Structure 1
Amino acid sequence: MKKIIYSLLFFFLVGNIAAQQTPADKQSTDYAIEGATAHLGNGKVIENSLIMFSEGKIVFVGNANVKIARRGTVINATGKHVYPGFIAANATLGLVEIDAVKASDDEDEIGANNPHIRSLIAYNAESKVVESMRPNGVLMAQIVPRGGTISGTSSIVQLDAWNWEDAAIKVDDAIHMDWPTSFKTGRWWLGEDPALKVDEKYTEKIDNIKLYFSNAKNYLAGEKIKKHLPYEATKGLFNGSQKLFIHVSGQREITDAITIAKELGIENIVVVHGEEADKISDLLLKNNIPVILDRPHRNPNQEDDAYDYTYTIAKVLTDKGILVSLGMEGQMERMNTRNLPFYAGTFAAHGLDKEVALQLLTLNTAKILGIDDFVGTLEVGKDATLFISEGDALDMRTNILTDAFIQGRKISLETHQTKLWKRYANKYKTN
C-alpha cells in the first residue's frame, strides 16, 4: 500500500514540475538585432534597423547602415519586424485559470467597496493561460480585480516570472470602480419585463459612492484612532500618486463620474469602456482624461449606433485628440487577451493609421498606466522588452514570432498550446 501511495506522490510531483514554466535567466549576453523594420511604438518606423541591448536595457536604436560595432549575439532579422512588447490593459490574467473551477477563481472578493484588495498577491505567474500570451507578443499586463462597486487595486506585471513578486513592474498602480448605470433591465427569470427602463436608484447609488469617498477623505485628514484598511487604501487617490479607473459607459454616466470625482478631489482619472465617450470629447479633453476601449469584436450597445461603431470608435476618439488604449474586459477575457494585437488590427482596418493602432498597445497604454518612462517604445534607456515577428504583428496571418525578450531576457515561446499544435500537426502530417 505504501508503494502505491509513494508512486502516486511521485507522479503527482513530476506532473506538477512538468506543468510549471521556467522563466528566463537574467540577461548575461548582449544582443544586436539587425536588418528588421523597427516599429518604435510611438508612430515612427525605421527600415533596415539596428537595435542593441545590454543588461536588460536598450543601448542603441538606429539605422543598420551606421558604422558602429555590433554587441554580443547578432540576430539577422532582415525581412522581419521588431516591436515593443505589447501591454494588455484592464486584464484579469493569472486571477482565474479555469472558469468552471471555483478554487481557481480569484478575480473578485465579497463586499461592495474593496479598495484595499490587491490583485497582485492573487496573481498566478505559472498560469498556462498567461504563458499563451507570449507567442503573440503580449509581454506585459495590468492585472485588475473585478466585482462590487470599488473592485480593488491593480498592478502591472511582466509575463515571464517565477512568482508575483518577480512579475511586478509597477505595484498598486490604480483603484478600479464600477460606475452604476442610469438604466436597468428587468429580471426575466422573476417574471419582470426584460425591457430597458430607468433605474430609480441611480441617484441613490451615486450618493453612496460620494459618501464612501467623503468618509475616506475625512478619515485620512483626521486622527486615526482605529485603523481602517479600506480607507487607508484610498490615500493615493487624494494625493495624486494613484489613478482611479472608472469603468463606465453612457454620456450621462461618464459626465457624472468625472464631475463627482473632481468634486471629491480625485484628479487622476481614466475612463474604462467609454461607450458614447465620443459625445463628450470636450469634457474628456478639458480634464485630460484617457479612455481604455473594449474589444471591437462585439455588437454596438445602442439601437441607433452605426453598425461599425465598435470598429471605428478608436479613430473617432483619436482624431479628437483623446489618448486611447485597448482593454480586455468581457466574455472569455483571459483566453482572448492573446488576440490583443488583432483587435488593434481591426481598428487599423477601419480607418486608424497602422502605427497609431500599434500605439494602443504600446506607448498609449504605457502612458495611461504610468510606465512609459521604461517601457512602451523602442528607445535608448528603456527596458529591452520587445519581440521579432516574421510579418505584421497586427495581422494574425503574419504575426509569427521568432524571438522575444523581457528586460533583455530571451524568453521561451513554447506553451501548452504550441506543444499540442505540434503534436497534432505531426499526427495529421500538416505544417
Structure 2
Amino acid sequence: MKYLFSLLITFTIFNLCAQQTPAPEQSQPISIVGVTAHIGNGEVVENAIIVFENGKITQVSDVNKAQPKGKVIQAEGKHVYPGFIAPNSTLGLAEIDAVRATRDEDEIGTFLPHIRSVIAYNAESKIVESMRPNGVLMGQITPRGGRISGTSSIVQFDAWNWEDAIVKADDGIHMNWPRSFSRSGNWYDTDRRYEINKNYTKQLDELHTFFDKSKAYYQSDDFNRNTVYEAMKGLFNGEKTLFVHVDAEKEVLDLLAFKAEYNLENVVIVGGAEAHRVANEINAANVPVLLQRVHSTPNFEGDDYDLPYKLPKLLSDKGILVGLESSGQMERMNTRNLPFYAGTAVAYGLDKKEALKMITLNTAKILGIDDFAGSLEIGKDATLFISEGDALDMQGNRLTHAFIQGGEISLESHQTELYKRYSNKYNHKIDE
C-alpha cells in the first residue's frame, strides 16, 4: 500500500510538471505585416512590418517601405510587443507552496553569494508555462533568504532545462538590507506597532565586515581560493550587479552611503516602497529601482491609499530608471499579472509608453541585457508577441502568436486546457 501511495504521488507530480515541448529553432524568415508595433523604447510604428530571421529582428519599418519575407502573418488591427521581462522572480524555484519538496528558493545560511539559483530552476514548471499567454517571456530567477541570498540568472521561458533556458548567467547578487524597525504581532492583529530594531547597527557592522573581507580577497594575490569571496569579485570589478532588497527611507539612504563607501558601480534597489521620499538622492546616485508590486496596499497608515499605484509615476518623474517586479504574497502565480501592474500605473497618471518601458526596455537595461532584449529593434532577439488589443489591459491582452528567439511557442497552459475542457462540457462556444 505504501509503495502504491508513493507511486501515485510521483505520477501526480510528474503530471503537474510536464510542459509543452519547446519550440524548434526558427527555420525560415517570418514577417508580421500591418501591425501596430510598440517598440518598447517609447516609439510606436503604425501599420508596420517586422521581419526576423535566425532568431534575430532584421526589419522594423512602415509596411510600405519593405517587402515581406518567408512566412507572412497578416496582423492588421493587432499589436506587437517585445516580450515582457519579470525581474526578481522565484519562478521555477517553487511549484506548490503547500508541498515543501517543491520549494527550493531559499538556502540555509546568512552570507551566500556563491549559491546559484539557476541550477534549481525547473524549466518544466506549470507556473512558468502560465506566464506566456500574458506575454511574460523572460525572467530573472532570484534566490530568497539570508542576508545575502545568492546569485540570480536570467532565463527565457521555453526550454528543456535550465542550461537551455539561460540568456545571461549569474547577472547579480541579491542582498536583503537590515530593517531599521520591525512590526510586532501578526498581520491580523489590530494593535500592531512598529518597533525599533535594536540590532540594526550590529547588522550593518556585519555587512561591512563581510564586504571588507570580500574586497580584501579581490585585491589580494593570495591563491588560497575561497568560494564565498570568489563569488563577490564581480561586484568590485563591475561584472555583476548588487540587487539590494530595501524599502524604508532611512535604509535607502544608508544603502546609498554604503554604495559610495565601497565604490560599487552597479547597484539596484529592489522594492523601494519609500523610494519616493528620497527620490532626489537616488537619482543623484544613478541607482535604478525595481519597484514593488503595484497591486499592493500602503505600508503606513499615513500613506495615500493609492500610493503603490502612483509610485511608478512619482519615481519616473524624478528621472529614475524604473522597472516593475512582482514579489510578495503568491508571487509566482501573480507574476503573470506583470502587464496589468503597468496598466494600473497608466490609470494613475503614468504615460503608457513609459509604463511599457518599465516591463521591457527599462528592465532590460537594469538587468544588463538591453543589447539583445527589451525592444523591437534590428539585431535584437525576436522575443515578441502579437496581441489582439492593448497588452497592458486585461481585456485587450489576448495573444495570437508568441516567439522566443524566433521560435514560435505554444500559448497553451494548464489553465487554457481546463478552460476549453469545461467550456465544452457545458457546450459554451470557445473563441479561438
Identical counterparts, % of pairs: 59
* 1:356 partnered with 2:331: no
Structure-2 separation of matches of 1:308 and 1:13: 42
| CA drift at 1:186 | 3.0
- Which stretch shifts more, 277-286 or 373-382? 277-286
- Alpha-carbon contact 2:83-2:360 (below 8 Å) kept: yes
| CA drift at 1:21 | 2.5
- Alpha-carbon contact 2:382-2:403 (below 8 Å) kept: yes
Aligned residue in 2 for 1:45: 44
Summarize the Cα distance change of 1:199–1:15 in structure 2 as closer, same or farther, 3 Å threshold: closer
| CA drift at 1:282 | 1.8
Residues 259-270 of structure 1: matches in 2 within 5 Å? 259-270=257-268
Any gaps of 5 or more consecutive residues in structure 2?
Answer: none
Aligned residue in 1 for 2:61: 62
**Residue type at the aligned position of 1:21:** Q
* 1:30 partnered with 2:29: yes
| CA drift at 1:180 | 1.0
**Residue type at the aligned position of 2:116:** R
**Residue type at the aligned position of 2:270:** V
Residue by residue over 1:357-413, the C-alpha shift from the partner in whole angstroms, topping out at 9 and shown as x without a partner, is 011111100000000000101001100000000000001111100000000001111
Summarize the Cα distance change of 1:13–1:28 in structure 2 as closer, same or farther, 3 Å threshold: farther
| CA drift at 1:415 | 1.1
Structure-1 separation of matches of 2:13 and 2:198: 58
Residue by residue over 1:208-235, the C-alpha shift from the partner in whole angstroms, topping out at 9 and shown as x without a partner, is 1011110111122224353221111000
Residue by residue over 1:82-138, the C-alpha shift from the partner in whole angstroms, topping out at 9 and shown as x without a partner, is 000000011110000111111111101000110000011010000010000000000
| CA drift at 1:188 | 6.2
Aligned residue in 2 for 1:169: 167
- Alpha-carbon contact 2:249-2:274 (below 8 Å) kept: yes
Aligned residue in 2 for 1:253: 251
| CA drift at 1:324 | 0.4
**Residue type at the aligned position of 1:413:** L
| CA drift at 1:429 | 2.3
- Which stretch shifts more, 240-249 or 255-264? 255-264
Residues 30-429 of structure 1: matches in 2 within 5 Å? 30-66=29-65, 68-187=66-185, 194-224=192-222, 226-429=224-427
Structure-1 separation of matches of 2:342 and 2:116: 29
- Alpha-carbon contact 1:113-1:151 (below 8 Å) kept: yes
| CA drift at 1:194 | 4.2
- Alpha-carbon contact 1:33-1:77 (below 8 Å) kept: yes
Residue by residue over 1:226-254, the C-alpha shift from the partner in whole angstroms, topping out at 9 and shown as x without a partner, is 32211110000000110100000111100
| CA drift at 1:277 | 1.0
| CA drift at 1:70 | 1.1
Structure-2 separation of matches of 1:142 and 1:188: 31
Summarize the Cα distance change of 1:343–1:188 in structure 2 as closer, same or farther, 3 Å threshold: closer
Structure-2 separation of matches of 1:223 and 1:241: 19
- Alpha-carbon contact 2:17-2:125 (below 8 Å) kept: no
Count of residue correspondences: 422
Structure-1 separation of matches of 2:388 and 2:14: 34
| CA drift at 1:330 | 0.3
- Alpha-carbon contact 1:34-1:48 (below 8 Å) kept: yes
| CA drift at 1:13 | 11
- Alpha-carbon contact 1:126-1:162 (below 8 Å) kept: yes
Residue by residue over 1:137-182, the C-alpha shift from the partner in whole angstroms, topping out at 9 and shown as x without a partner, is 0000000000011000000000000000100000000000000111
3-state SS of the aligned residue for 1:219?
helix
3-state SS of the aligned residue for 1:217?
helix
TM-score, length-normalised on structure 1?
Answer: 0.94
- Which stretch shifts more, 225-234 or 110-119? 225-234
Summarize the Cα distance change of 1:17–1:130 in structure 2 as closer, same or farther, 3 Å threshold: closer
| CA drift at 1:296 | 1.3
- Alpha-carbon contact 1:119-1:154 (below 8 Å) kept: yes
Structure-1 separation of matches of 2:243 and 2:61: 37
Structure-2 separation of matches of 1:18 and 1:301: 36
Residue by residue over 1:336-365, the C-alpha shift from the partner in whole angstroms, topping out at 9 and shown as x without a partner, is 111110111000111001111011111100
3-state SS of the aligned residue for 2:395?
coil
| CA drift at 1:15 | 6.3
**Residue type at the aligned position of 1:409:** G
**Residue type at the aligned position of 1:57:** K
3-state SS of the aligned residue for 2:225?
coil
Structure-1 separation of matches of 2:195 and 2:264: 31
Structure-2 separation of matches of 1:369 and 1:314: 18
Structure-2 separation of matches of 1:340 and 1:15: 28
Any gaps of 5 or more consecutive residues in structure 1?
Answer: none
3-state SS of the aligned residue for 1:48?
strand
**Residue type at the aligned position of 1:425:** S
| CA drift at 1:420 | 0.6
- Alpha-carbon contact 2:381-2:405 (below 8 Å) kept: yes
- Which stretch shifts more, 152-161 or 267-276? 267-276
Summarize the Cα distance change of 1:402–1:182 in structure 2 as closer, same or farther, 3 Å threshold: same
TM-score, length-normalised on structure 2?
Answer: 0.94
Runs of 4+ in structure 1 off by over 4 angstroms are 11-18
| CA drift at 1:20 | 3.5
Summarize the Cα distance change of 1:145–1:237 in structure 2 as closer, same or farther, 3 Å threshold: same
Summarize the Cα distance change of 1:408–1:188 in structure 2 as closer, same or farther, 3 Å threshold: closer
